[in-house]
Structure 1
Amino acid sequence: MPTKEIHELRERAKELRCLYRLHEIVSQRGQPPAHTFLEVLEVIPEGWQRPESTGARIEYFGRHYVGPGFSSTGETIAAPIRLDGTEVGRVEVSDASIVDDEATTFLDEEKELLRNIAHRLGEYLEWKHTELLGERSTTAGVHWRWREGYAEAMAAALDAERFGVSGVYLGGSTEGGNAGPGSDIDLIVMCDGSEAQREQLRHWFEGWSLCLAELALQQTGYGFPGGILNVQWMTEAPDLRHRPDLRVLKLGGQDTAVPTAGT
C-alpha cells in the first residue's frame, strides 16, 4: 500500500479514537459539565495531525475552559455548540505549528471531526439540562424541589433582627411547582430596617444568589451570570388572600406567623 494511503488511514484511525474517547467521557453523565469539558479538551488534540502543537478550548454561556496547548495566536478553527437549536457556545482548536505556505493547517476531515465533537457536546448538554443533582428528570418536579429547599434554608439562616426583616415570601415557578432548569427563585422581602441594613441584606442575598447559581451551573450546565435569586422589596405585607401564588417562609428564630395584610 502506498505510503500516502497508509498515512491517511492512520489519520482516520486517530480521528475515530478521538470520537470514541469523547463518547466515553460524555457518557459519564454524573460528572458536572465543567469536569466533562476539561476531560474533552485533553483528548481533542489526539485526533489532529499534529497533536504536539494542537490545543483546544470550549466556550459555554460566556465561560471559557482552556485545554493544554491552546494558543490564541496560532491558526484556529471553531464549531458552534447548540442547545435545542440555539448556539450556547463553541469549540475552538488551535495549531501553533508553522506550516509551509502550500500546506493546509487543518484538513477537511479535521473540520468535520470538530463539527462532530461540537454536535456530541450539544447532545450531552441537552441531556444534562434535564438532570439535576444526579437525578434524571422527566418532569419539572426535581427543579422546583431543590430550589424550594434552598429557599427555606436561606430564610432559616437569615437574621431578621440584624437586617430589619419582617417577612420573606416564596413565589413564582418555585412555589408553583413548575420550575425548569433555567428558572430563577422568586422572593418577596419585607424590610423595615434602615438603608444601611437593607444594603447589607442586598449583599447577603447576592452571596446566596451567586452560590446557588454556581450549584445550578455545575449540576445542569445552565448559567445564571447575575445570580439565581430574583428579590423584590416591599414595605407592606402582601395580602395572601389575593396572592395564592405566595407562601410565607419561616425566618430563623421566628416562632410566630409573619403578619399579612388583612390579618
Structure 2
Amino acid sequence: MTKLSVNINKIATLRNSRGGNNPDLIKTALDCERFGAQGITVHPRPDERHIRYQDVYDIKSVIATEFNIEGNCQEQKFVDLVLANKPAQVTLVPDAMGQITSNHGWDTVKHQQYLKDIIAVFKESGIRVSIFVDPEPRMVEAAATTGTDRVELYTEGYAKEYLHNRERAIAPYVEAAKVAGHAQLGLNAGHDLDLHNLKYFAQHIPGLLEVSIGHALICDALYLGLENTIQMYLRQLATS
C-alpha cells in the first residue's frame, strides 16, 4: 500500500499565530503516528513562519515512523539542518525566498550538475533523496541521472484538472510514473491531494510509494477529527 506521510506545517502555523505551544506540534506528530500515519513531513522555510528549525530537532528525537524533511537545498542552513538530523528522506524543492507554497518542480536538465553534487552530500550521510518534479517525462529522465533515489510528482495540476476531467488530469502523471519505473526511480507525490482525488490518483499511478499530504488533511481534521481523518485518507490508499 502507498504510505501516507502527514505534513504538519499547518499545525505549526496555527501555533505560531498566538505564540506559546498550542497546539502542541510534537504531540500532534506523535498522534499522527498513533492514528496510523506511516510518516511525518515538515517543510521549514528561512523565515520560520510555520516549522521552526528547533521543531525539526524536537520531532526527530521522538518519532518512530519515517521522517521527511522538505525544503530548498540551495539554502546552506537547510542543508546543515538535514545533515544534523539525518531523516529517512530529504525532498529537494526549488522554493524561492518568501514563497507561500511550492508551485513548481526542479528543472532537472538545467540544474543537473548541481543536483548531482548536492544529492551526493545527502546520500553520503545515508539519507534517501527525493526530487520534487513536474509530471514531464524529460524532467523525470534527467532526474534519473542525478543519483536521486526517488522523484516526487507535483500534483497541483492534477488536483485542478480533476474537477473537470479526471482522465485528462491523470494522463501526464501516468506517463511520468512509467518513465520513473523504467529508470528504477522510486515514486512519491504531493500537493493538493485530498479525500476527493486521492483514491483515483493512487489507483492509476504505477509504483506509487508515498504521498505527502498536509493542507487538505488538516482542513478536513477541523471537521472530522484528526484520527478519523487520517484513517479516511488511509482507506483511500488501501482501496487503490
Which protein has the larger Cα radius of gyration, Structure 1 or Structure 2? 1
Instruction: Write 1 or 2 for the structure with the bigger share of strand.
Output: 1
TM-score normalised per structure 2: 0.22
TM-score normalised per structure 1: 0.21
Structure with higher RCO (Cα < 8 A, 6+ apart):
2
